[in-house]
Structure 1
Amino acid sequence: MITVDFSRLTVSPGDRILDIGCGSGRHTCAAYRLKGVRVTGADLNPEDLKEARGRLTFHDQLGEHGGGAWNLSAADVTRLPFPDACFDLVVCSEVLEHIPDHDTAMGEIVRVLKPGKPLVVSVPRYLPERICWALSDEYFNANQGHVRIYRKSDLIARLERAGTRFLEHHYAHGIHAPYWWLKCFVGPTRTDSPAVNLYHRLLTWDIMKKPRITRFLDRLLNPVLGKSLVLYLIKRRL
């Protein structure tokens, strides 16, 4: 599922894009569809990078790209192996909630971004995430180790101290929040719950087919139940 709304961003052919904490490459592939860009997916997990490579190669085989280029890098978000001010856009989606030293990570993603260029950060939204934590003591470990829950104002303040200026925000994945509450209620590691498995089939259908009914419900629920908070910022010029 794609959390970032690329239509809100101004991206030009030749721009360099970093998707840090790219995981299996969902945003790397989405960025690769933009015309003439050079996109880098970076993550510490070799299995995720292997899956991202497979996805990107599949896009190449189908010709589903904007004619640019891609590469992958094994990288720690707190010690990025890139020069200062070398990217025209940085995407950091659902990463910071996993990082103990998140202030250092924020400093790094801003460091490698060019002045005047956009940064997009998404994290789990406070209330839906708080409900998950309340329903299950296992959730934050089962969900790959969430170490904190962000309030919007605090995250914006931290990113602005790192050298950015906040522009706008939205919420995403409204129909996903009840799925995670249900999953936490029955046990986040269980795989034998008929209700959870049925809901998962619905979400998979939504992601693959994008039917109008689920798209409408998602837009309707996002302001209230959106699972993800998505922030759009710009790096301040010196």
Structure 2
Amino acid sequence: MLTVDFDRLGIGPGTKVIDVGCGAGRHSFEAYRRGADIVAFDQNAGDLADVQTLFEAMAEVGEAPDYAKAETVRGDALDLPYGDGAFDVVIASEILEHIPRDGQAINELARVLKPGGVLAVTVPRWLPERICWALSDEYHANEGGHIRIYRADELRDKITARGVRHIRTEHAHALHAPYWWLKCAVGVTAEKNPLVSAYHRLLVWDMMSAPPLTRVTERLLDPLIGKSVALYFAKPVVRLGGN
């Protein structure tokens, strides 16, 4: 399940991509499939071991082009171990809401993006997230949990202040918002609740089958209750000597 729209990133053979806070690797795998040189970056060693295993499996079965490169790197998003302008594309999906010093993380995302490159940032959307917080403290008040709720325009301005240009805002995963509201209402860990289980089966079926009815329904609902907001930015190219 991708939150970032890869058709907006211009990823192709040899594109240098870093997926900061890659988690289970969903965006890293898609970049690899498209032929990128991808760095899956995270602080969780267990997640990175699983991502590396799947990178190797993808290479073995030919799910990624032979020329594509994939590696996992453990580190801190507040201090990325790369030079300025090292990457054509920078992805940071659903991580900033976890980071106390989000401004420093944003500085790093913008710093390692090369001029002319694209930055994609996604976070939980304000309204669906407010409902979750109102229904359940357990949803967010835990170690490593969500520590803030962003308004899209405030986050956009915070990122553009780092010298990148906002190019688009989209919303995603409308069908997932009611699922999380339901979980928050009955208990976030109540996976065996009949309503939660039934809705989860629906979401899995939708992801595996992508039936036209649910795909159209979600596209119509995304602007209203999309669970995530995705913001896209471009780093200006500095032209010297009037050229």
> Is TM > 0.5 for Structure 1 vs Structure 2?
yes
- Aligned pairs for 1:177-216 (under 5 A) are 177-216=177-216
Q: AA paired with 1:149?
A: I
Q: Is contact 1:129–1:149 with CA below 8 Å preserved after alignment? A: yes
Aligned position for 2:45: 46
- Could you say what secondary structure the match of 1:155 adopts? helix
- Could you say what secondary structure the match of 1:162 adopts? coil
Q: AA paired with 2:199?
A: Y
CA shift for structure 1 position 230: 0.3
Q: 1:226 to 1:74 in 2, by over 3 A?
A: same
Q: 1:212 to 1:144 in 2, by over 3 A?
A: farther
| Gapped regions of structure 1 (runs ≥ 5) | none
CA shift for structure 1 position 175: 0.3
Q: Is contact 1:174–1:227 with CA below 8 Å preserved after alignment? A: yes
Q: AA paired with 1:22?
A: C
Q: Is contact 1:142–1:189 with CA below 8 Å preserved after alignment? A: no
Q: 1:21 to 1:138 in 2, by over 3 A?
A: same
Aligned position for 1:224: 224
Aligned position for 1:114: 114
Structure 2: how far apart are the matches of 1:69 and 1:183? Answer: 39
Q: 1:206 to 1:142 in 2, by over 3 A?
A: farther
Identity over aligned pairs, percent: 47
Aligned pair 1:75/2:103, yes or no? no
Aligned position for 1:62: 61
CA shift for structure 1 position 143: 8.9
Cα deviation digits, residues 80-135 of structure 1 (max 9, x gap): 11111110000000000000000000000111110121000000000000000011
Q: AA paired with 2:49?
A: K
CA shift for structure 1 position 214: 1.9
Structure 2: how far apart are the matches of 1:178 and 1:196? Answer: 10
- Could you say what secondary structure the match of 1:140 adopts? coil
Structure 2: how far apart are the matches of 1:213 and 1:64? Answer: 29
Q: AA paired with 2:158?
A: R
- Could you say what secondary structure the match of 1:71 adopts? strand
Structure 1: how far apart are the matches of 2:118 and 2:205? Answer: 32
Q: Is contact 2:128–2:227 with CA below 8 Å preserved after alignment? A: yes
Structure 2: how far apart are the matches of 1:149 and 1:191? Answer: 25
Q: AA paired with 2:37?
A: R
Q: Is contact 1:84–1:111 with CA below 8 Å preserved after alignment? A: yes
CA shift for structure 1 position 50: 1.5
CA shift for structure 1 position 142: 5.4
| Gapped regions of structure 2 (runs ≥ 5) | 239-243
Aligned position for 2:147: 147
Cα deviation digits, residues 187-224 of structure 1 (max 9, x gap): 11222211101111111122222222221221121111
- Could you say what secondary structure the match of 1:191 adopts? coil
Moved more, 38-47 or 198-207: 198-207
Structure 1: how far apart are the matches of 2:229 and 2:23? Answer: 18
Point out the structure with max Rg over C-alpha.
2
Q: Is contact 2:167–2:232 with CA below 8 Å preserved after alignment? A: yes
Q: 1:126 to 1:195 in 2, by over 3 A?
A: same
